[in-house]
Structure 1
Amino acid sequence: MNRTRPSRTGPPARPAAVLFDRDGTLIHDVPYNRDPALVRPVPGAAEAVRLVRAAGLATGVVSNQSGIGRGLLTHEDVRRVNARVDALTGHLDVWVYCPHHPDDGCACRKPRPGLVTEAARRLGVRPADCAVIGDIAADVLAARAAGAEGILVPNARTRPEEIDAEDHPAPDVLTAVRRLLARPAPARSAARANGPAA
C-alpha cells in the first residue's frame, strides 16, 4: 500500500515545509536531556537542514518532551537544548513541543496531530503541504493524522513492526530530505503564505 500522499497528475510534489522530530532524528536521543553539552547531531542532520533551507522550504521541529510533565525537565531546559540543536544543525524556523505527561490526554502529544498542525500554522502553510521526518511510528502517525506526509527514518530504538508498516522508510535523515527535494516543485508555490512566526 502506498502511504505517501498521491498526486493526481504524477509523482508527489515537493512539500512547502519539512518538519523534523528532534530526539533520534536530528540528534542522538539522550532521554530527558537537560544539558546542551550532551547534544550530538546524527550523521547528515546539519546537511539535511542546510539542503532544505537552500531549497527555500520552511523548516521546523515537532517534539514530545514529556520530561516536563514528569517533573524531570523545565521549559527552560528544553529551550536551551533546542538552542544548541539550532546552533549545531543550522537555524530551524519553528520549534513546537508537547510538555505534557503521556496520561494527560492532550491534543498535541504525538501520535496526535496537534504539534504538526501548530507548526504548519506558525509557518503559514497547510499541514497537507508539510512532510514530517521521524524515527518512530508516533511521528509518522502524527503527520498523517494532520493530513501531512510522514517519513520514517529508523534507528536502533525503532521497533521492527514500525519499520515493516512503512513502504519506503529512509535509511537516514539526509536521504529522506534528498528524496523530498528530488520531487518536482509544485505548479504554484505553496511556500510560507505569511512567513514563519515565532
Structure 2
Amino acid sequence: MKLVILDRDGTINVDSVDYIKSADEWQPLPGALEAIARLNHAGWHVVVASNQSGLGRGLFEVSELNDIHAKMLQQLADLGGRLDAIFYCPHAPDDACQCRKPASGLFEQIGERYGIHLKGVPAVGDSARDLVAAVAVGCEPHLVLTGKGEAHRGHPLPDTFPAQTTVHADLSAFVDHLLARETEAN
C-alpha cells in the first residue's frame, strides 16, 4: 500500500496562533490540495494526523471540527482528490495522552487501522513534533517550510529534528520529490 501521512495545520492549510476554529477560518495553502490530488492520481493513499488541542482547550466543538474537515474534503473532491482518513488528538498539552504529537499514538492508530507497519512511510509536517512522532514508528520524515516550518527557511535545522529529515518548500514540492523518486525507482 502506497501511503503518505500529512499534518494538517501549516502543512495543508494556513495555520493560526489563535487556532483554526471554524470552517470560515480554514484556508488551504496555495497548491496544497492540488498536491494531494496529484498523490491520489498516482495511486497514493493519504491520511492526516493532526493535533487539535483547541478541542481540549474548549475553543471549539467537534461539530466545528467536522465542518472544517467537510470544507477541506469538499474542496479536495472538487480537484479530484481525497483523504482516506483523518486522525486527530483532541487533548490539551497537559492531558498527558499518548496521541498528541510528539507522542506516536496517532501514527500507531494509523498503522493499526491499515494493518501495516509504517517503516518507510513518508510523513510530512511543519514542525519537529510532527516528525519526531513519525520517526518513532519508522516513518520517513519530511519538513515543509510552510506554517511553523517557515521559521527554518534559509537556516540549518536544529537538533530537535530527526537527522534524516528531508526539507521541501511546501507540500507541492514534497509531492514533486516523491513522484520523481517513484519514477526513478520504476
Report if TM-score (shorter chain) is over 0.5. yes
Unpaired stretches in structure 2, ≥5 consecutive residues = none
- Contact 1:19-1:61 within 8 A present in 2 as well: yes
Identify, as 1 or 2, the structure richer in helix.
Answer: 2
Aligned-partner residue type, residue 103 of structure 1 = D
The one of 94, 108, 112 equivalent to 1:117 is 108
Identity %: 37
Report the residue type matching 1:148 in the other structure.
C
Would you say the 8 A contact 1:136–1:154 is kept in 2? no
The CA deviation string for residues 9-62 of structure 1, in whole angstroms up to 9 with x for no partner, is xxxxxx821111111100001333222122211111112111111111111110
Post-superposition CA distance 1:75-120 (Å, at most 9, x none):
2211111111112233200000000110111111011111112123
Query: Relative CO higher for 1 or 2, CA cutoff 8 Å, sep ≥ 6?
Result: 1
Relative to the length of structure 1, the TM-score reads 0.78
From the superposition, tell whether residues 170 and 76 of structure 1 become closer, same or farther in structure 2 (CA, over 3 Å).
same
State yes or no: 1:182 paired with 2:180: yes
Hey, what's the Cα distance between the residues in 1 that align with 2:44 and 2:11? Answer: 19
Q: 2:60 aligns with which of 70, 73, 88?
A: 73
Q: Which residue of 2 aligns with 1:59?
A: 46
Counterpart among 3, 24, 42 of residue 10 in structure 2: 24
Contact kept in structure 1, 2:15 and 2:147, CA below 8 Å = no
The one-letter code matched in structure 2 to 1:80 is D
Quote the offset at 1:183 in angstroms.
Answer: 2.2
Structure 1 residues without counterparts, runs of 5 or longer: 1-14, 188-198
User: In the alignment, residue 34 of structure 2 is paired with which amino acid?
Assistant: E
**Among 98, 108, 112, which residue is 2:89 paired with?**
98
Match of 2:23 in 1: 36
CA deviation after TM superposition for structure 1 residue 140, in Å: 0.8
Give, in angstroms, the shift of residue 145 of structure 1: 0.9
Q: CA deviation digits over 1:127-163, x for unaligned, max 9?
A: 1142111111111111101111110002353344783
Are 2:140 and 1:149 aligned? Answer: yes
What TM-score results when the alignment is normalised by the length of structure 2?
0.83
Residues paired across the two proteins, number: 172
In 1, Cα distance between equivalents of 2:114 and 2:32: 21
Question: Aligned with 2:37: secondary structure?
Answer: helix
Who is 1:10 aligned against?
none
